[in-house]
Amino acid sequence: MNDIHRSLWGILFACGIAAISGTAGHAADESPWSEDIRSAVRIVAGTNKVGDAKLRAGIEIKMQPGWKTYWRYPGDSGVPPQFDFSGSENLKTATVLYPAPHLFTDETGQSLGYKERVIFPIAVVPQQPGKPVRLRLKIDYAVCEKLCVPAEGRAELMLGAGNSAHNSELSAAEERVPKQVTATQAGLTARRVNTGTKPLVAVDLAAPAGQPVALFVEGPTPKWALPIPKPVRPAPAGRAQFSFELDGSPPGTDPKGQVDLTFTVVTGDRAVELKTRLD
């Protein structure tokens, strides 16, 4: 083989390696879709840097037009997603974060969730820092149009340092996760306004003028199923007011006892989450 041929083969070989490397890098951005008739699930990677204590990833669910899935608390009906990362390699913890949900109202009542597409961000902590994590996911969830249908998905992705084509979408989903604040920072108070087996709870909070405000409440454990607070109008300028019955508590709960509540406040594109105690 003469020098010209060697040079051409060298260039072709180098280009082939570059193409393979580029394909592999792109493939590592996401897992294949785990599909059923109405929806599909995959894992997407975020851009991660060498030395990051946590790796960023997301669980993406896409649904057919008109279909929805649920938040961690589904509301009047529905099933929250269940995430299982057992079988993952070099995984210490995987914390799933929930973007602020939408409120849906139909003939079955009110529910909380996401329509047609959602990314749940994941904060992944490796067991051995600095080494890749092979993330294996099993997810049980429900998708609904007029009726709810159970769904299951499985996905696997190797996470490590590197850029991702999905980073901007993942970052947008992370921005929609409610920020942690205190009740004082949110200007929120909650109090019982009567007594009985289902006391009425009144909530008052600061609210910017001219923007719609949605309020969601959760009990101290997933066994609680509190109603979605209803707005009270008119409210004073710069305030929003809601009320709900302290209903849906587990059997044996004292309706007059202390209760730790978690509130999610959605104002336009901004969402915050806070905890407070109802005395």
Taking only the tens place, the pLDDT of each residue in 158-169 is: 999 999 999 999
Instruction: Round to whole Å and give the CA distance between 72 and 97.
Output: 10
Q: Does 167 fall in a domain?
A: yes
Indicate whether 87 and 167 sit together in one domain. yes
Domain harbouring 250, CATH code: 2.60.40
Q: In the listed set 132, 155, 176, which residue is the last one of a domain according to the structure?
A: 176
Helix (H) or strand (E) holding 64: none
Taking only the tens place, the pLDDT of each residue in 134-159 is: 999 999 999 999 889 999 999 999 99
More confident residue, 204 or 27: 204
Taking only the tens place, the pLDDT of each residue in 214-267 is: 999 999 999 999 999 999 999 899 999 999 999 999 999 998 899 999 999 999
Residue 112 has pLDDT above 60, yes or no: yes
**Contacting residues for 135 by C-beta, under 8 A, at least 6 apart:** 43, 57, 85, 88, 91, 94, 122, 124, 156, 157, 158, 159
Q: In the listed set 176, 209, 226, which residue is the last one of a domain according to the structure?
A: 176
Q: Does 4 fall in a domain?
A: no
Residue 7 has pLDDT above 50, yes or no: no
Indicate whether 206 and 241 sit together in one domain. yes
Q: Which DSSP state fits 126?
A: E
Indicate whether 215 and 244 sit together in one domain. yes
Taking only the tens place, the pLDDT of each residue in 177-221 is: 999 999 999 999 999 998 888 999 999 999 988 889 999 999 999
Residue 17 has pLDDT above 80, yes or no: no
Give the position of tokens 């600095």: 130
Expressed as residue numbers, the domain containing 263 is 180-278
Indicate whether 162 and 212 sit together in one domain. no
Instruction: Round to whole Å and give the CA distance between 199 and 215.
Output: 18
Percent of the chain residues past pLDDT 90, beyond the cut: 78
Q: In the listed set 176, 200, 215, which residue is the last one of a domain according to the structure?
A: 176
The domain tally of the chain equals 2
**Contacting residues for 20 by C-beta, under 8 A, at least 6 apart:** none
Indicate whether 151 and 201 sit together in one domain. no
Residue 175 has pLDDT above 80, yes or no: yes
Indicate whether 103 and 184 sit together in one domain. no
Instruction: Round to whole Å and give the CA distance between 214 and 212.
Output: 7
Cβ burial of 121 (10 Å; 0-12, 13-18, 19+) is buried
In the chain, where does DSSP find H-type helix? Answer: 3-27, 167-175, 183-186
Indicate whether 151 and 45 sit together in one domain. yes
